[in-house]
């Protein structure tokens, strides 16, 4: 009688273990791993969007005015960091897409001995299968966490350099426009001819020659 009670309690404990690990596995499959995939995809699209913005802004600035080599290098560095992030995101998505699921234990259970421990051994087989899938997914989660950190750091550096490049190029454009405006507003003062008091008036298009008064 005590032996049967011991088996029953042992089976109950195994069922609790199986239920707990199945819940953990469900969280991995339905929440953690999909969330990591979505984060990587979001970073990848952000990188692509900022790269497109950098190229568009740089192209527009070059057409409008002269941009220093320093600003061009900044834009190039930003595009390099963001391109690395986008490319590494694709690699991370491809290398971590092998999600593990519990394997079918029907064949293994069919070979169990028909005794008092048959049900207990069946539960143990299921626990082993769930644990194996959980451990494999846990490795995927850890790998993607490291990849996400690398992608995030590169994205932040690239976005910061891009922001600084935009500010620098904008400052140069504003400074250039101010200088051009000052040059246009400068008026050349007329200088008198030698031996006369009559100033030389610059001729403009459409002006008629004036005759000197006698």
Mean of pLDDT values over 152-170: 90
45 vs 182, higher pLDDT: 45
pLDDT at 174: 62
3-state per-residue secondary structure call for 83-149: HHHHHHHHHHHHHCCCCCCCCCCHHHHHCCCCCCCHHHHHHHHHHHHHHHHHHHHHHHHHHHHHHHH
> Does 210 have pLDDT greater than 60?
no
- For residues 71, 72, 78, 81, the Cα torsion angle rounded to the nearest 10 degrees is -140
Contact (CB, 8 A) for 132 and 101: no
* Burial zone of 53 (CB within 10 Å; 0-12 exposed, 13-18 middle, 19+ buried): middle
- For residues 21, 25, 31, 36, the Cα torsion angle rounded to the nearest 10 degrees is 120
- Which of 22-26, 42-46, 188-192 is predicted least confidently? 188-192
Distance, first Cα to last Cα, the chain: 144
pLDDT at 198: 55
Using the 8-state DSSP alphabet, how is residue 199 labeled? B
Domain boundaries, the chain: 2-179
What are the structure tokens assigned to 15, written together? 């069922």
- Which of 3-17, 64-78, 81-95, 104-118 is predicted least confidently? 104-118
Report the interhelical angle of 118-185 vs 2-27 (nearest 10°): 20
pLDDT at 118: 66
pLDDT at 47: 95
Contact (CB, 8 A) for 178 and 67: no
pLDDT tens sequence across 13-35: 888 888 998 999 999 999 999 99
pLDDT tens sequence across 61-83: 777 666 678 888 999 999 999 99
From 37, 54, 51, 65, select the one nearest 148 (Cα to Cα).
37
- Is this structure's pTM higher than 0.85? no
């Amino acid at each position: 009688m005590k032996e049967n009670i011991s088996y029953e309690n042992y089976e109950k404990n195994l069922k609790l273990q199986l239920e707990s690990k199945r819940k953990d596995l469900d969280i991995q499959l339905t929440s953690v791993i999909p969330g990591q995939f979505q984060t990587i995809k979001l970073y990848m699209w952000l990188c692509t969007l900022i790269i497109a913005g950098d190229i568009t802004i740089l192209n527009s600035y070059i057409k409008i005015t002269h941009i220093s080599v320093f600003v061009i290098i900044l834009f190039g560095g930003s595009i390099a960091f963001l391109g690395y992030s986008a490319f590494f995101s694709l690699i991370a998505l491809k290398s971590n897409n092998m999600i593990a699921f519990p394997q079918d234990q029907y064949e293994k259970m069919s070979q169990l001995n028909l005794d008092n421990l048959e049900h207990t051994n069946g539960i143990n087989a299921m626990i082993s299968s769930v644990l194996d899938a959980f451990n494999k997914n846990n490795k995927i989660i850890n790998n993607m966490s490291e990849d996400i950190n690398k992608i995030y750091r590169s994205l932040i550096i690239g976005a910061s350099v891009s922001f600084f490049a935009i500010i620098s190029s904008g400052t140069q454009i504003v400074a250039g426009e101010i200088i051009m405006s000052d040059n246009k507003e400068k008026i050349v003062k007329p200088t008198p001819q030698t031996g006369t008091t009559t100033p030389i008036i610059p001729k403009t298009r459409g002006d008629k020659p004036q005759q000197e008064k006698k």
